[in-house]
Amino acid sequence: MERSIKFQEEHKIFRDVFRRYLIKEVEDNYTQWEKEGIIPREFWKKLGDNGYLIPWADEKYGGSGADFLYSVIICEEVARAGYGSIFIGLHNDIVSPYIDSYGTEEQKMRWLPPCIKGEKLLAVAMTEPEAGSDLASMKTRAVKEGDSWILNGQKTFISNGIISDIIVVAAKTGGSDVPAHRSMSLFVVERDTPGFTRGEPIKKIGLLAQDTAELFFDDCRIPGDNLLGEEGMGFIYLMQKLQQERLICALGSQAAAESCLEITKEYVKERKLFGKPLSKFQNTRFELAEMASELAVGRSFIDDLINNHIAGRSVVQETCMAKYWICEMSGRVADRCLQLFGGYGYCTEYPISRFYLDARIQTIYAGTSEVMKHIISKGMGL
């Protein structure tokens, strides 16, 4: 099926080069990274050296001024290769836009160049033990004290939690008399800030090479000029960036599911049962046909949203639909593909097992499927 996105020749060349780069730098190392529970800093530095980090940033910060399709390609190729733990999308397209959009020129000159070079890595800290998608229940608070802010609270399930150097942290700054949507602010907390500590890496069933951690702020003193944007505007800033965040999540799930189907299609052609290839059984063919149909629907939908997003249109409602439906679909595809591998699918030496485990989180982070359906229903006037 021809895609509705109009990739130019330079995009196609970039995709080919980046795909070969992943094979060279990741293929033989990824299993070891999963055992270590973290992507090494040296790999991030190489990404920066090759221009793969925040490529859309202005040239004055060290970026290439590239269009969003380069981010799309990076996201798709990482997901298709089964390297879901490499959170380039988080660094490139979820966290750095906060700095670029709401930071002062001084802040952007201070933080963006080292992030583009891969010298400093990014994370965003919103989720708390008792506040996930319900940001109004957030307890982390920042209080102004002279020229500083004193931050107290705890964050959990923070991706890049161990390796990150620059963390965008959401905290309450308004009193009880301030409306919820104006009582939150964003701050940048840098590595080794006094009062800032990290817990041990959180052990997970999937995304084994992704360092996820709890963050603790105990009388953490932040310079006054580390306030990102205006005080009290944090909730609004977060809402403004969720369209792209959920689009990136759905896109990764779509690409991963497409890869699942492709490797399964090749496997059933070779695997024999009762003297004939598994692909010759009606059940196998029908299963693959059903999955291919769902993937075609998802691809058409996500590409249309990408085109609208690039055009600057508001597709908040639709990206919530994509985040819900495509991520759920991706999980179904991974599960059904693993079933067709039989016992081998349950063995870690077969890539389908990694796709299966990594797919499970997609319906949870960046807004659970249930929260997405809640937002969609509100948009329907319900």
pLDDT band with cut points at 50, 70 and 90 for residue 178: confident
Average pLDDT, the chain: 96
Pair (114, 249) in one structural domain: no
Separation in Å, CA 227 to CA 109, 222, 223, 370:
15, 8, 8, 32
Indicate the residue among 173, 198, 230 that finishes a domain: 230
Cβ distance 77 to 63 under 8 Å?
Answer: no
Least confident segment among 22-31, 99-108, 172-181, 309-318: 172-181
From CA 200, how far away is CA 186, in angstroms rounded? 25
Asked whether residue 249 is assigned to any structural domain, the reply reads yes
With residue 196 as reference, give the H or E element that holds it. strand 196-198
Per-residue pLDDT of 251-294, as tens digits, reads 999 999 999 999 999 999 999 999 999 999 999 999 999 999 99
pLDDT over threshold 80, residue 1: no
Helix, strand or coil, per DSSP, at residue 276: strand
Reply yes or no on whether 294 is catalytic.
no
Indicate the residue among 120, 149, 181 that finishes a domain: 120
Per-residue pLDDT of 36-91, as tens digits, reads 999 999 999 999 999 999 999 999 999 999 999 999 999 999 999 999 999 999 99
Maximum Cα interatomic distance, the chain, rounded to a whole number of Å: 79
Q: How many domains does the chain have?
A: 3
Asked whether residue 2 is assigned to any structural domain, the reply reads no
- Tokens 């939908």 belong to 301
Answering whether pTM is above 0.85, one says yes
Pair (244, 114) in one structural domain: no
- Segments forming the whole domain that contains residue 275: 236-379
Cβ distance 209 to 38 under 8 Å?
Answer: yes
pLDDT over threshold 80, residue 218: yes
pLDDT band with cut points at 50, 70 and 90 for residue 134: confident
Separation in Å, CA 215 to CA 43, 128, 207, 307:
24, 9, 19, 36
Asked whether residue 61 is assigned to any structural domain, the reply reads yes
Per-residue pLDDT of 306-324, as tens digits, reads 999 999 999 999 999 999 9
Pair (180, 201) in one structural domain: yes
CATH number of domain containing 271: 1.20.140.10
The secondary structure of residue 231, as a DSSP letter, is T
Joined together, the tokens standing for residue 275 give 């003297």
Closest CA to 250 of 127, 16, 89, 68: 89
Mean pLDDT of 16-23: 98
Helix, strand or coil, per DSSP, at residue 171: strand
Which of 245, 258, 294, 318 is flagged as catalytic?
A: 245
With residue 45 as reference, give the H or E element that holds it. helix 41-49
Indicate the residue among 67, 99, 120 that finishes a domain: 120
